[in-house]
Structure formats: structure tokens, C-alpha cells
Amino acid sequence: MAQIQFTPTWISKVPFTTKRKHYTDSHPRSKFGNCDLVLVVGGRTKTGYLRFRKYINGKRRDQLIKLADMTSNAISLSELRDIYETKVIEIKRNESPVLVAKSFQTFTLGDAIDFYLERKNPSDIGQLLNIKEDLVGARKAGDLILMDLSTSQVKELVEPLVQKGSLYSANMKREFIQRVWNYCLREHDEIKKLIARFANPATFDMKLYCQFEKKASTKSLSLEEYAEFFDIVSTCKREDIRDLFHMFLYLGQHPFSEIARMRWDQLQEIDGQWWWFMEEGFHKTSKRHTIPLHPIVMDIINKYKEFDETYVFPNPLKGKEFYNAHDFKYYMKEFRRKYQIEWDVRCLRAAFITTIEESNMTFRAGILCNQAAQNITEKNYLGRGKIPFKDFKIEMINAYMEIIKGVKNGI
């Protein structure tokens, strides 16, 4: 059997023969283990085949699979090779890592982000989609080949934020890429075979790179600052923004972008108590999460019943489906500029935990934030069924909201 690198000219000129003759393509695109692209020439026809060599009980068996008629140049040689590659991958996908590499060698960071978003539906979807459009050199980050992605490229991606001094945002972008890579490594059956031998390119020390160290806020809000919070938020002209800020304070550790994406089908009343059920992938952790909704919170939510069938807080601005973290930061920045306040987003989050736990030494506010139980006390409150720590959560939220009511009544 003759081996030759096929070309369109050669195929058109190879002579017909009354005795069928087989030619094997030697082009690199046709190089797969136990597979060949073969042109079979007869008296009147030229036909492309895939020859698959399989071994049964130690004996070789060749199988010819017809791909396309090449007699009249109905398809190009490039198209024939495409058909060949697709067929090879179809019959041998799970047998050879070489085939997997051939199939997914063009799988990009953008593809990885899409794969993650299709399955996880996170609240920070906007930030992930924006990464795809960011530039690394002259190329969009979404076009970078995932298996070739390097730490230097990730650093180049976050460098504009580092130069601006926005180190927290730079680290958040790095964490986004780290998260997407790790998800593909766990969940994508083909891609994980390619990237398992590589270190995650987004896992590098931000302290060494740009002197950034992620720290929890050490400042919380005093009761006086709670009052200041409500006073300042009341100056915002837009009622929906005021309500979202209140929801952020009432629901503690839940990011603004999560609250803004709250759906009606996530809300459920059980025994007179309303709950927010967050499915796996919606909340910032991978676990399902539930939090009780106090009547004050439900009063806010019920104001929006007629606005949208799916989402509780749709963004009325044209072209924007949801509010996001950037919207929240914009208003916070304006508040800080106008009123010279010292507290920020992290302070508001810390206040939720601190206020609850200081109100009762047996309380563990981390449970309301989907964090692990901290000691044996929680087991006494563990609810049966689909809401872990049901009674404990209700008790903590009610106690916290009583403090909030006291603050508001004192304004």
C-alpha cells in the first residue's frame, strides 16, 4: 500500500485502475494511532476511507469505513480530513488520549468560561463574561488556548488593575480564572485529561506579585453607624437601589450580585416562614443554601411582584438585565465621597456576623452564610428534612432583625 501526502492536484491526477489500489495519506493531520486516511482508487471511482486497525484476541482486524466520494471533487481534501478526524474521534474518543488532544487542542479560556457558566449559573456571571473580552497582548483573553494558558498571561490580564492600584479587583479576576480552570479539571471529562499535568496558571502568590494580601475586615459597624447607614441610603433617589442596600444589610454575607439575581422560584413558604433556596452553583460556595426571610425582608420583596415573572429585582435600565457588583460599588463610592464615611462593603458583611454573635454567645452566624458548623451546640438545632439548622437560622435572623428594628426606630 503506497503512502503519500495527499494534495488536491495529486488526487485529481492519480489514474483509475481496474485493480483497486489503496493509498495512505501521510499528512500530519491524518496521524492517529491505529487509524489511517485511505484513498481507494478503482476503475471509475476515487473514495476516501478511514481504516481502523483493531486487535481482537491478539489478532489484527482492519475495518474500512467509507467517508466520501472524491471522484468528482464534490468536497475538498481539507473537508475530507475534517470528516476523517471527526469519525476517528467518534469511534475512539475513550481509547486514546491522543484523540482527545486532537479534538480539544483549540479549547479556549472562553470555552472553559462558557462550560462553567452553563452548569454553575453563578451570581458573578457578568465579571466572568467580561474576562473573555479583556486583552492579553493583541488577543482577547477568551481566545487563549486553555492548555497553553500561562501564569505570565494571567498576570498580564490582571496587570492593568494592579497598575491602577485596584489590587482587590485584580485578585478577584485571578480567582475567577483559577475557579474556572479547577472546575474544568474536575468536571470536563476530556479537558481534564489535557490539563491535569499542568499547574493551574492562576495559582500564584499575589503578595509576591504585587504586595496584595487578602484579609478579612477587622472593622464592623457600631449601632450608631447602623443608624448612619440607613440615613445615608435614604438619600439615594432610586427606591430599588435603596431596597437592595437594605437587603444586603439584612442578608449579611450574601453578595449584592446574588441578591440582585434572586428569583421568584427560589422563594418558598414553609409553616408560615418564607425561605430563600439557593441551588448548587448559585451561591458563592458549591453547596445548596437556605436562609430565612424575615417579614421586613418580605415586605421589600413583595413590592416587586408585578415587575418581572422570573426575577425579584430586575434592572429597569435598558440593556442591563441585572444589577451587579459594579453598580453596588458605584453607589458605595458616591456615599463615601459625599459623606466621608469610613465603613465599606467588607464592614457591612462583617457587621452581620459580629452583631449576631455578640447578641448571643450561642449563636453561630456562619451557618447563615453557608459556612461549616463550629461546635456541638448547632447539632441541638439541626432541622430535619431539606433545611439544615432550620430553627437555629430562624432564631438568629429574628434576633438580628430585632436589633435592626431598634436602630431604625431610633432614627
Same domain membership, residue 115 and residue 86: no
Same domain membership, residue 233 and residue 201: no
Q: Do residues 101 and 148 make contact, with C-beta atoms less than 8 angstroms apart?
A: no
% of the chain surpassing 70 pLDDT: 85
Residue 103 in domain? no
Q: What is the pTM of this model?
A: 0.56
Q: How many CB atoms lie within 10 A of CB 253?
A: 20
Tell me the pairing of strands 273-278 and 21-25: unpaired
pLDDT tens string 298-328: 999 999 998 888 889 988 875 566 787 778 8
Grid cell 456562619 — which residue? 366
Q: Using CA atoms, how far apart are residues 296 and 101, in angstroms rounded to an integer?
A: 55
Exposure string for 206-232, b = 16+ CB within 10 A, e = fewer: beebbebeeeeeeebbeeebbebbbeb
Q: Do residues 349 and 220 make contact, with C-beta atoms less than 8 angstroms apart?
A: no
- Domain boundary residue, one of 146, 179, 210: 210
Residue 294 in domain? yes
- pLDDT confidence tier of residue 101, bands split at 50, 70 and 90: low
Q: Using CA atoms, how far apart are residues 409 and 99, in angstroms rounded to an integer?
A: 68
Range of the domain at 390: 223-409
pLDDT tens string 106-138: 889 999 998 888 777 665 676 777 899 999 988
Grid coordinates representing 254 are 450574601
Same domain membership, residue 401 and residue 255: yes
**Looking at residue 385, what is its pLDDT?**
44
For residue 54, the domain's CATH number is 3.30.160.390
For residue 113, the domain's CATH number is 1.10.150
Same domain membership, residue 400 and residue 256: yes
Per DSSP, helices labelled H in 165-276 are: 167-187, 191-195, 206-210, 223-233, 239-250, 256-260
pLDDT tens string 208-223: 999 988 765 556 677 7
Q: Using CA atoms, how far apart are residues 376 and 362, in angstroms rounded to an integer?
A: 10
Grid coordinates representing 322 are 441585572
For residue 363, the domain's CATH number is 1.10.443.10
Q: How many CB atoms lie within 10 A of CB 377?
A: 13
What 3-state class would DSSP assign to 50?
strand
% of the chain surpassing 90 pLDDT: 38
CA-nearest of 287, 128, 87, 101 to 192 is 101
The sign of the dihedral angle between the CA atoms of 236, 294, 275, 124 is positive
**Looking at residue 168, what is its pLDDT?**
85
